């Protein structure tokens, strides 16, 4: 990180430059002392002007007033223009550029115009005094106009910086709101899963109580289901509490290495997404709860078994979707099935919105011994949809939050061959889910 050294709250470079300018004015004042009108008295006036110029940036109006009073004092003594009167031009430039209000610069310009006339009258010359006034006026006017132009550019740059800072704050606020909304949705869904598990436990426990004398084997099976379901419910409850945690203020930066819950491949920020043609995909490209393709009751809990119906809806919308499932598809916990379903739903919605109608999408769901791996790849060769794709989710923000619940990893980014790829790896919980059987 670059550090700017400061002296008395001011950047060192600016202080050094102002001291150098004051030094030049002081040098003119001292060098002309033996020959100039007023002698060392005029030199003292020039030195006072030089000292005042050191504060020309932080107190431009006051510095200009001091220099103007000294200059009019010089005229009152009849000394005429001096070399150190360069300080008058420097002060005029400073007040126009740095003053909070342009009015101060205009007043300084009027005072300078009066000073130009007085200086021209006292200038020894072979021509009429007004020729000297025109010359001094042109020089002073040029300095004033240059200062006004620099002031305008300075204020324009400051306004751009302020606007950029405001947009950055708004973007961060929107990202935090999107994360909070998505976490609330995930927590609500996980709460439904936990409530369902508790209901299963109650039903199985009641069945075991009634069957313990008639069929001990059935009762033991029911008790085992209660224990396994309880363990899974505790695991889901832990994830539910984790979803409601406070956001980490020191999250991964743009250059962070993809880790658990991190979006990589050019989509690391909270609102990142990407285009299927290799550009940038937005982070609000439809998702859970979107209208049209995603029309579900509020308390519905989709599962992996419903993926074919979801893919059919996207095929009807214009995507060419192929799905491949590899590995032994064991029984997954309901919360994990819900996460897989939502990830596929969000990835396909993004593909429809950014890759376009007619794009080819390959969905691969791989079951391994310790994880579920999901790949969604589109070729980015579709055409823009006549009707905009449904919106309502938060793109990769929601996907990242869902993956982070399982301490998984998410990578998303453009492919060299064109299109976009989303890859998610969800570790399986240590406690296997148990199928509920009637008692």
Which of 73-77, 188-192, 301-305 is predicted most confidently? 73-77
Residues in the chain, overall count: 439
Instruction: Indicate if 294 and 395 belong to the same structural domain.
Output: yes
pLDDT at 272 over 60: no
What is the layout of strands, in order, in the sheet containing 360-367?
263-264, 409-414, 420-427, 371-378, 360-367, 320-326
Interatomic CA distance for residues 249 and 19, integer angstroms: 43
What is the distance between the terminal CA atoms of the chain, rounded to a whole angstrom? 67
pLDDT tier for residue 250 given thresholds of 50, 70 and 90: very low
Looking at the structure, tell me whether residues 278 and 214 fall in a common domain: no
Of 28, 106, 15, the C-alpha closest to 64 is: 106
- Does the structure show a pLDDT above 70 at 249? no
Structure tokens at 201: 């436990």
Check whether residue 226 and residue 296 sit in a common domain: no
Beta bridge mates, 323:
363
Could you read off the pLDDT of 326-343 as tens digits, one per residue? 888 777 887 888 888 889
Looking at the structure, tell me whether residues 238 and 270 fall in a common domain. no
Residue with tokens 């930066």: 253
Asked if residue 269 and residue 385 are part of one domain, the reply reads yes
Any idea what DSSP says for residue 353? I
**pLDDT score for 9:** 64
| Residue 34 belongs to some domain of the structure | yes
Residue 166 belongs to a domain: no
Are residues 219 and 290 both part of a single domain?
no
Residue 43 covered by a domain:
yes
Domain identity same for 344 and 396: yes
Regarding whether 415 and 268 lie in a shared domain, the answer is yes
384 and 280 inside one domain: yes
Question: Could you tell me which residue, 214 or 64, shows the higher pLDDT?
Answer: 64
Instruction: Indicate the residue among 191, 213, 243 that finishes a domain.
Output: 243
Closest by CA to 393, choosing from 426, 349, 341, is 349
User: Is residue 161 a part of any domain in this protein?
Assistant: no
- The DSSP secondary structure of 41-74, one letter per residue, reads HHHHHHHHHHHHHTTTTTSHHHHHHHHHHHHHHH
Print the domain residue range for 120: 7-124
What is the pLDDT, as a whole number, of residue 117? 85
Question: 183 and 220 in one domain?
Answer: yes
| Residue that terminates a domain, selected from 91, 124, 157 | 124
Instruction: With CA atoms as reference, report the closest residue to 243 among 372, 391, 394, 400.
Output: 400
What total number of domains does the chain contain?
Answer: 3
What are the tens digits of pLDDT across the range 292-309? 454 454 445 677 888 898
Q: CA 343 to CA 356: how far, in whole Å?
A: 19
Q: Is residue 69 one of the residues assigned to a domain?
A: yes
Token representation of residue 369: 């011994």
> What's the CA gap between 298 and 263, in Å, rounded?
28
3-state secondary structure of 108: helix
In a domain, 306, yes or no: yes
Residue 283 and residue 399 in one domain:
yes
Q: What Å distances lie between residue 302 and 60, 72, 78, 403, CA to CA?
A: 69, 86, 95, 17
Q: Rounded CA gap, 352 and 348, in Å? A: 6
CA pair distance 242, 405, nearest whole angstrom: 7
Tell me if 163 is assigned to some domain: no
**What is the CATH classification number for the domain harbouring 205?**
1.20.5.1930
| Residue at 316 is within a domain | yes
Q: What is the DSSP letter of 82?
A: -
Q: Which among 103, 124, 145 is the end of a domain? A: 124
User: What residue spans of 296-382 are helical by DSSP H?
Assistant: 307-317, 334-350
CATH number of the domain to which 316 belongs: 3.30.565.10
Q: How confident is the model at residue 435 (pLDDT cuts 50, 70, 90)?
A: very low
Q: Are residues 275 and 185 in the same domain?
A: no
């Amino acid at each position: 990180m670059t550090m700017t050294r400061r002296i008395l709250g001011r950047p060192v470079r600016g202080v050094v430059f102002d001291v150098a300018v004051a030094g030049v004015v002081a040098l003119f004042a001292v060098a002309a002392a033996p020959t100039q009108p007023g002698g060392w008295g005029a030199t003292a006036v020039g030195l006072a002007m030089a000292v005042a110029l050191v504060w020309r940036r932080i107190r431009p109006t006051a510095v200009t007033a001091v220099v103007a009073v000294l200059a009019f004092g010089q005229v009152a003594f009849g000394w005429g223009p001096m070399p150190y009167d360069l300080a008058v031009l420097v002060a005029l430039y400073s007040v126009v550029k740095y003053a909070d209000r342009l009015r101060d610069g205009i007043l300084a310009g009027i005072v300078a115009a009066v000073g130009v006339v007085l200086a021209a009258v006292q200038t020894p010359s072979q021509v009429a005094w007004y020729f000297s006034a025109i010359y001094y006026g042109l020089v002073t006017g040029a300095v004033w106009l240059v200062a006004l132009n620099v002031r305008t550019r300075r204020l324009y740059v400051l306004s751009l910086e302020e606007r950029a800072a405001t947009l950055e704050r708004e973007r961060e606020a929107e990202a935090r709101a999107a994360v909070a909304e998505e976490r609330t949705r995930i927590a609500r869904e996980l709460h439904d899963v936990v409530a369902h598990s508790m209901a299963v436990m109650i039903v199985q426990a009641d069945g075991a109580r009634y069957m313990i004398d008639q069929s001990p084997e059935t009762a033991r099976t029911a008790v085992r289901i209660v224990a396994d379901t309880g363990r899974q419910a505790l695991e889901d409850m832990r994830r539910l509490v984790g979803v409601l945690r406070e956001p980490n203020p020191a999250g991964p930066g743009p250059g962070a290495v993809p880790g658990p819950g991190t979006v990589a491949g050019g989509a690391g920020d909270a609102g990142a997404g990407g285009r299927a043609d290799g550009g940038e995909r937005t982070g609000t490209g439809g998702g859970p709860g979107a209208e049209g393709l995603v029309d579900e009751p509020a308390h519905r809990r989709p599962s992996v078994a419903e993926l074919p119906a979801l893919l059919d809806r996207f095929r009807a919308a214009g995507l060419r979707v192929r799905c491949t499932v590899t590995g032994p598809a064991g029984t997954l916990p309901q919360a994990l099935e819900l996460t897989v379903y939502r990830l596929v739903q969000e990835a396909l919605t993004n593909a429809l919105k950014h890759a376009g109608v007619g794009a080819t999408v390959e969905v691969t769901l791989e079951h391994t011994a310790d994880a579920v791996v999901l790949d969604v790849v589109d070729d980015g060769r579709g055409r823009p949809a006549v009707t905009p794709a449904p919106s309502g989710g938060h793109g990769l923000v929601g996907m990242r939050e869902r993956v982070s619940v399982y301490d998984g990893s998410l990578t998303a980014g453009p492919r060299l061959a064109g299109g976009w790829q989303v890859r998610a790896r969800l570790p399986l919980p240590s406690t296997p889910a148990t199928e509920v059987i009637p008692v």
